[in-house]
């Protein structure tokens, strides 16, 4: 990727997560699934920067984000996802939206920690 393309992706990622942060800070609105999954989709290229050892993690992450993006067509907020899976007693079942949300969160945490360590050294 050319530098300008990298900068565009990083800018889109930063803008998307700033919007999510504004929602969290406001404490007045629930986090919508569509903007959340869109922001998370911008993180996928970072896995590619980590090399072949992270290819499985990248594929898993992309699949889980894709599931959340698809869910956003019929489910408005992350709270509704959680409530429905709790009600359906499927929170811990493989493939549930809640479990996929957890896997995406862990992927985000992993990328965050790795890049924090890179910056620290």
Q: Which domains does the chain have, with CATH numbers?
A: 1-120 (1.10.3520.10)
pTM: 0.86
Model pLDDT, residue 3: 66
Interatomic CA distance for residues 54 and 36, integer angstroms = 22
pLDDT in tens, 22-44: 989 988 879 999 999 999 999 98
Q: What is the CA radius of gyration of the chain?
A: 15
- E-state strands within the chain: none
Is residue 66 within 8 A of residue 108, CB to CB? The reply is: no
Neighbours of 41 (CB within 10 A): 19
pLDDT in tens, 71-101: 999 999 999 999 999 999 999 999 999 999 9
């Amino acid at each position: 990727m050319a530098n300008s393309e990298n900068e565009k992706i990083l800018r889109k990622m930063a803008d998307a997560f700033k919007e999510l942060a504004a929602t969290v800070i406001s404490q007045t609105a629930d986090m919508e699934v569509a903007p959340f999954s869109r922001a998370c989709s911008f993180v996928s290229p970072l896995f590619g920067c980590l090399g072949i050892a992270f290819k499985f993690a990248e594929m898993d992450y992309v699949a889980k984000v894709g599931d959340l993006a698809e869910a956003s067509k019929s489910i408005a907020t992350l709270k509704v996802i959680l409530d429905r899976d709790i009600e359906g007693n499927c929170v811990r079942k493989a493939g549930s939206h809640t479990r996929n949300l957890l896997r995406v969160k862990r992927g985000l945490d992993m990328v965050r920690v790795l890049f924090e360590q890179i910056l620290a050294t």
